[in-house]
Chains A and B, each alone.
Chain A
Amino acid sequence: MEIAVVDYKGGNVQSVLFALERLGARPTLTADPEVLRRADKVLFPGEGEAASAMQALREAGLDQVLPTLTQPFLGICLGMQLLGQHSDENDTPMLGLLPYQVRRFVPDADHKVPHMGWNNLQALRGPLFEGLTEADHVYFVHSYYAPVGDYTTAQSSHPAPFSAAVQHRNFHGVQFHTEKSGAVGTRILANFLAL
């Protein structure tokens, strides 16, 4: 199975590569549209700031390529947010595959920003969460979030509910770090590879 990880100089991809290797996969880190098109699965990790990530995608021509992919696709963290329409983070237009506007959390006495640490998932649905329950925890680090909508396949809250995972056709996204979420994250990655 050919597994491609999108390389756009946009964050820490090494952890995702190692996590895939622990599952016995041999991922290819690439920005080559041809390699991406023929891969069986595509993973799109993201970290950092939305506007510079979109800029890096445009420079690599990937803003045109990614929306045309047809195999199972997984955006992680910022990689999930970028699937939406627009982010409040530096007023950034994004890929537009999903209809959400990405918002910033508002801190209060009990809710620090970034939302950093382990939180539960609720209202799980879809193949990525096969074998998991609402008692399971995943690891989040983010200051911006996608609101809950028809596309939401798992939610969490801080304290407002937000999309912990989304799906539209072949495009899946998770706000948490599958590669850093222990056995639960490993199961979600394995479920994705089995799609």
Chain B
Amino acid sequence: MLNLTYPVVKKRLIPCLDVRDGRTVKGIQFEGLRDAGDPVALAERYAREGADELVFLDITATNQRRQPLTELVRNVARVLDIPFTVGGGINTVADVEALLLSGADKVSINSAALARPDFINELARRFGSQCVVVAVDVRLVGTEWQVMTRAGTTPTGRQAVAWCREAAERGAGELLLTSMSHDGTKSGFALELTRAVADAVSIPVIASGGAGQPADFTAVFEAGGADAALAASIFHFNETALPALKTYLHTAGVAVRL
């Protein structure tokens, strides 16, 4: 049992809603998409069930150069009383401003930051680090974690820990670290990678990719040193219910919000 003498910030569970054409979808390793429902209804359900935050990723935006979904953001913000992040295809300060004005709490940037790293500094200066999440998609190539861009389709030649450190130094408020080698496999999170990044930066790290069993979450918070864990399919398809997962983590000694 925890016996804390002072309050601590809790480990966060973050359902991720991949959105395409206004519907929630989830693929296996970024392809082969399955329909998972109305994003506003799902968002409300997750908030009721104890989600600590939500992430919406417009997964078509980068490849098809579509503008982010400000209308969906507005509809979500109207009903949701927990924080949420929006990402996908964000390229300009104007994109970010439109999303924040629509009610998003944070934005997640990925390809645009890799193409022009000063974008991170500009957003942090203009809107504050607290709303700038830098998403980093990585793939294990041989023994090295390499950063991918354009929805995971293109290698950048950058090394994961070095890019995460640079993003933090440039003013990111948080990192969303996805192992594409684990994404959709339900074989557990990339623990060593997550630990290496968490130890390299002083900002919070959200681990993503590979959640399958409740024990995977305990491992990523403890061995992985993650501040938050993100998952999609295990929540969407009711394989693991949030309240049961939180109770499990609490019993295992992980500090969560019950």
Contacts and interface: CB of A to CB of B under 8 A. Distances in A.
Interface of A: 11-12, 14-15, 18-19, 21-22, 47-49, 107, 112-122, 137, 139-143, 156-159, 161, 177, 179-183, 185-186
Interface stretch (B123-131, B141-149, B181-189): B123-131
State the main secondary structure of chain B at its contact with A: loop
Interface in B113-145: 125, 127-131
B202 interface: yes
Given A14-B101, A141-B173, A143-B129, 6 more contacts: A11-B128, A117-B10, A119-B7, A119-B9, A139-B82, A157-B8
Contacts of A140: 9
19 contacts: A12-B131, A47-B128, A47-B131, A48-B127, A49-B128, A116-B130, A116-B173, A117-B9, A118-B257, A119-B7, A119-B9, A122-B6, A141-B105, A143-B129, A157-B8, A180-B82, A180-B105, A181-B82, A186-B81
A129 B7 CA distance: 17
Contacts of A122: 6-7
Nearest to A155: B7
Interface of B: 6-12, 47, 52, 77-79, 81-83, 100-105, 125, 127-131, 173-174, 202-204, 227-228, 257
Contact of A182 (B7, B12, B82): B82
A116 B81 contact: no
Contact of B228 (A14, A117, A181): A117
State the main secondary structure of chain A at its contact with B: mixed
Which A-B residue pairs are the 3 nearest by beta carbons? A120-B7, A48-B128, A107-B202
A12 B103 CA distance: 7
A123 to B, nearest CB: 11
A19 B129 CA distance: 23
